[in-house]
């Protein structure tokens, strides 16, 4: 028996059901497309207001537009990660990590010098007081609370010191005072308050400033003074160190004088002790030892045995050098020039006829004899060595050959002269 496809007792075939849904989809395709496009556009527009990314080291504070504003419960702060909120609400992010801010403040020193101080402020926010900080002060808490208060304490402290102290000697002390007074200010009774009458929901609180901000330190980075004042301070410091240098010089000379005095006392005691044990025989023995050591050296010398005092040898060095010349005679403080002259004749010149007079022969210096190497030690071999020995011993030039062979009288020289 064949079943009727359109009867109520049997179900329609699957192909007819799929065809029915397809016709329904095609009939509403335009409406679905418009709805999807509107939803996509709304998602793109509302994404920044609904999806909030809380970075590392931050917390998110929720502000509800239609349910009382700021959420004051610290337990409802949003931690790190992705958060989704309603688009009509807002979330404020606060940094809980260490923060560093550098500010420059104008101040006047104790002696009236206008200067500029650069202060570095390092602090951290406390998580439990962030809702109260946000409601009472706001995200711009650095410009409204931290900066002005630090600047006020900086001017107050710098006014107690002179420009030189601020510039050179008291910087660490000033830095510590600024930090101490700022901490006193934060915990000295200054509160962030809100009464129940000010709140629609009856929320009230009273929070001190130190419970909101944890001040780490305040660093004095630099002091800018007028150039003329800086130059004057540098000159003063330079003169101070020059004065200190002279002080140390005087102390050094005092120590040197003490050293010399102690050295002189030691020398005196040494001489006193040694003089008691030195005898002539000991000195003679030491002289013989020194003579033997010098005689064995390779230097040029002459040793005369038995020629010194008490029979000690005499050592003459540098015998080959030129002999010492005696100092020329002086007359009235002026030196007389020595001129070679002939010997004085026996008879006066006015009694001798002019024709018979002969021109006096000038004495030519004898040619230096060639030095003959000594083969016998220690006696000299020529006249130059004898002159050198006498000149070393007495400091005077010995008499020359003229003293041994005196000049002939003029009559003999005239007779011996050949006729012209």
pLDDT in tens, 270-316: 888 877 777 777 777 877 888 778 777 777 666 665 555 555 555 55
| Cβ 126 vs Cβ 213: under 8 Å | yes
- The pLDDT value recorded for residue 264 is 93
Q: How far is CA 400 from CA 340, 383, 387, 405, in A?
A: 15, 9, 9, 9
- The pLDDT value recorded for residue 97 is 93
Residues of the chain with pLDDT under 50: 1-7, 318-321, 324, 326, 330-343, 345-362, 364-365, 367-369, 371-381, 396-398, 400-406, 414-416, 420
| Cβ 136 vs Cβ 194: under 8 Å | yes
* HSE, side-chain direction, 13 A CA sphere, residue 324: 11
- The pLDDT value recorded for residue 348 is 47
Cα separation, 384 vs 375, in Å, equals 16
Cα separation, 416 vs 390, in Å, equals 36
Give the 3-state secondary structure of residue 70. strand
Residue with tokens 């060639």: 370
- The pLDDT value recorded for residue 340 is 47
pTM of this structure = 0.50
- The pLDDT value recorded for residue 200 is 59
Cα separation, 146 vs 183, in Å, equals 11
Q: DSSP for 253-308?
A: HHHHHHHHHHHHHHHHHHHHHHHTT--HHHHHHHHHHHHHHHHTSSS-EEEETT-S
Cα separation, 207 vs 72, in Å, equals 12
Cα separation, 223 vs 175, in Å, equals 12
* HSE, side-chain direction, 13 A CA sphere, residue 168: 13
Cα separation, 196 vs 203, in Å, equals 5
Cα separation, 414 vs 117, in Å, equals 114
- The pLDDT value recorded for residue 315 is 53
Cα separation, 10 vs 16, in Å, equals 13
- The pLDDT value recorded for residue 118 is 93
């Amino acid at each position: 028996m064949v079943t009727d496809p359109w009867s109520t007792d049997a179900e329609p075939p699957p192909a007819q059901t799929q065809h029915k849904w397809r016709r329904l989809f095609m009939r509403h395709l335009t409406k679905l497309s418009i709805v999807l496009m509107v939803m996509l556009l709304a998602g793109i527009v509302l994404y920044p207001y609904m999806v909030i990314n809380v970075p590392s080291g931050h917390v998110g504070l929720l502000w509800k537009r239609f349910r009382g504003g700021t959420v004051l419960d610290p337990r409802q702060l949003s931690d790190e990660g992705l958060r989704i909120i309603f688009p009509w609400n807002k979330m404020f992010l606060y940094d809980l990590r260490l923060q560093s801010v550098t500010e420059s403040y104008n101040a006047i020193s104790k002696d009236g010098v206008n200067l500029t101080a650069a202060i570095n402020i390092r602090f951290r926010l406390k998580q439990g007081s962030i809702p109260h900080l946000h409601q009472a002060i706001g995200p711009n808490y650095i410009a409204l609370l931290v900066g002005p208060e630090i600047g006020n304490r900086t001017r107050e402290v710098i006014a107690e010191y002179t420009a030189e102290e601020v510039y050179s000697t008291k910087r660490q002390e000033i830095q510590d005072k600024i930090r101490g007074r700022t901490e006193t200010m934060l915990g000295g009774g200054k509160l962030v308050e809100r009464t129940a009458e000010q709140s629609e929901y009856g929320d009230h609180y009273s929070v001190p400033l130190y419970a909101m901000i944890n001040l780490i330190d305040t660093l004095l980075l630099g002091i800018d003074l007028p150039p003329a004042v800086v130059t004057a301070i540098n000159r003063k410091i330079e003169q101070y160190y020059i004065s200190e240098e002279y002080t140390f010089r005087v102390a050094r000379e005092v120590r040197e004088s003490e050293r010399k005095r102690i050295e002189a006392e030691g020398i005196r005691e040494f001489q006193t002790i040694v003089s008691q044990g030195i005898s002539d025989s000991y000195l003679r023995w030491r002289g013989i030892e020194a003579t033997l050591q010098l005689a064995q050296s390779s230097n040029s010398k002459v040793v005369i045995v038995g020629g010194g005092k008490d029979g000690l040898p005499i050592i003459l060095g540098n015998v080959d050098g030129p002999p010492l010349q005696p100092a020329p005679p002086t007359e009235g403080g002026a030196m007389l020039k020595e001129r070679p002259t002939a010997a004085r004749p026996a008879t006066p010149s006015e009694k001798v006829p002019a024709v018979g007079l002969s021109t006096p022969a000038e004495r030519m210096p004898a040619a230096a004899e060639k030095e003959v190497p000594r083969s016998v030690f220690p006696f000299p071999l020529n006249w130059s060595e004898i002159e050198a020995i006498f000149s070393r011993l007495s400091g005077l030039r010995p008499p020359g050959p003229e003293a041994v062979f005196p000049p002939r009288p003029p009559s003999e020289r005239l007779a011996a002269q050949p006729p012209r």
